[in-house]
Chain A
Amino acid sequence: MSVFEDVRKIIIEIKDLPEESITLESRFEEDLEADSLDVVEMLMSLEELYDIQIPEEATEGMKTVREVVEYISALLGQDA
């Protein structure tokens, strides 16, 4: 599975949204109605899934799914 697919699966789990409503362009707050705690929970799930550490300062200001996918992909040394 690609990083995007993993992120999407976690967002579905947290927000109970239909798969097609989550795209790379989706904005957490405006499009997905995800608040800051939702985003923290998503990042914790990603840390667990990939056994990585995501420093808090790295994620501040991330507004879209794409930004998270690209950050994680870079951390894993993969293409997004």
Chain B
Amino acid sequence: MLPRRVVISGLGMITPIGNNKQDFWDHLLHGHSGVTTIDRFDASAFVTRIAAQVKDFDPQDYISRTEARRMDLFVQYACAAARIAVEDARLSIDQTERSKTGVWVGSGIGGLETFEKQHASLLKKGAAGINPFFVPMYIANMAAGQISIMLGAQGPSGCTITACASGTNSIGEAFHLIQNGKAEVMVAGGTEASITPMGIGGFCAMKAMSTRNMEPQKACRPFDLDRDGFVMGEGAGMVILEEMSHALKRGATIYAELVGYGASSDAHHMVQPDSTGHGAAMAFKMALDDAGIDPWEVDYINAHGTGTTLNDITETNAIKEVFATHSNHLLVTSTKPSTGHMLGAAGAVELIAATLVLDKDIVPPTINLDTPDPACDLDYVPGQARKKSINIAISDSLGFGGHNAVLIIRKFAE
């Protein structure tokens, strides 16, 4: 028996370049960057003092004040993006739909700001200083938990944590739940809010982030010879996944069909990818097999493209292994110079970007690619957006721990 078909019928995002579909797409298309000097806290003592922060976010636009004050920022972002996605899908989750609707939302870290504040309170006041809401605000699954409460969704819910691949893996797991008949609708994605002293400080200590503090908008430079690390972003991305006939029956607007999911492990190193790209290539191949698609059919890849030397070379090698001579015909872009690296939210927001590319047949550019690294020799669409008919698109994510995850979407046709 063929698995049930799954479509994408709603998109929601809270990002450093916009908190709605139109702003997000316009900024991507015109190559704008959301990276600025950090103003969330005093970052003057850190070697990296820039990040892509979410702007103009008021949680009360989406959730009540009393609910919001018991949510860490990563949960607020997730609830907001879920609310936007549900509205975009014109989905009503009534009594009959509740038990068929689930939520799967990843986060790389969880409530880091909550942890830091509560730890400071412990040091200052002792054990009595710990707030009773510390644990429920901190745990990484609470984004999925709170969204299910907010929407009244009683289907399967959970959270896949695979560092920077969390969003992609979570959408993949949600895809399987619908394919296998465990749910009709899934709110799926990723969320992150780690622009905090420990978040920035931790990645500074690893020397993984750009220190181009004087030129924030030029700091994230995937595939460029002058790159010097990634730039942290934050926010959330949510998609509404729906069983095909369920979507057709209610006259939903279908953006794309989700056709393949692949996941693999490098089994190599805690934080360094296997630079041969072989581990990542396995996830691409698994997703292609899952979709029943030949490599030459793929038009576009929204790459992980972090702007670290290791990532960019690994990913390029993986694409070449999988797509062979077709590699040169693919358009491969990174949206991270615009959004920053949204960690656990990255894969979800990038699948949304890929979905919009497919929907509009325009590929936004990879910005800041001025001096191509000779080791990265694919068509990364530097400079300007390009019009091209896109039938099949891929979004891939590579996470610390060697987690590789790949999703494939196709233009929808019954």
Q: A37-B133, A41-B133 are in contact. Are A16 and B66 (CB under 8 A)?
A: yes
CA gap between A34 and B132 in the complex, in Å: 14
Q: Contacting A16 at CB < 8 Å: which of B65, B128, B133?
A: B65
**Main SS class of interface, A:** helix
Scan residues 51-74 of chain A and give those whose CB is less than 8 A from a CB of chain B: 53
> Which residues of B lie under 8 Å from residue A53 when comparing CB positions?
128
Confirm or deny: A76 has a beta carbon within 8 angstroms of a beta carbon on chain B: no
Q: How many residues of B contact A (CB 8 A)?
A: 8
**Do A41 and B66 have beta carbons less than 8 Å apart?**
no
Q: Contacting B132 at CB < 8 Å: which of A15, A16, A41, A47?
A: A41
Confirm or deny: B131 has a beta carbon within 8 angstroms of a beta carbon on chain A: yes
**Do B131 and A16 have beta carbons less than 8 Å apart?**
no
**Do A15 and B131 have beta carbons less than 8 Å apart?**
no
Q: For residue A47, which residue of chain B has the nearest CB? A: B128
Confirm or deny: B64 has a beta carbon within 8 angstroms of a beta carbon on chain A: yes
Q: For residue A40, which residue of chain B has the nearest CB? A: B132
CA gap between A59 and B350 in the complex, in Å: 50
Confirm or deny: A75 has a beta carbon within 8 angstroms of a beta carbon on chain B: no
> Which residues of A lie under 8 Å from residue B69 when comparing CB positions?
14
- Interface flags for B50-77 (1: CB within 8 Å of A; 0: not) read 0000000000000011100100000000
Confirm or deny: A24 has a beta carbon within 8 angstroms of a beta carbon on chain B: no
A interface vs B, CB < 8 Å?
Answer: 14-16, 37, 40-41, 44, 47, 53
Can you pick out 8 interface pairs between chain A and chain B where the beta carbons lie within 8 Å of each other? A16-B64, A16-B66, A37-B132, A37-B133, A44-B128, A44-B131, A47-B128, A53-B128
B interface vs A, CB < 8 Å?
Answer: 64-66, 69, 128, 131-133
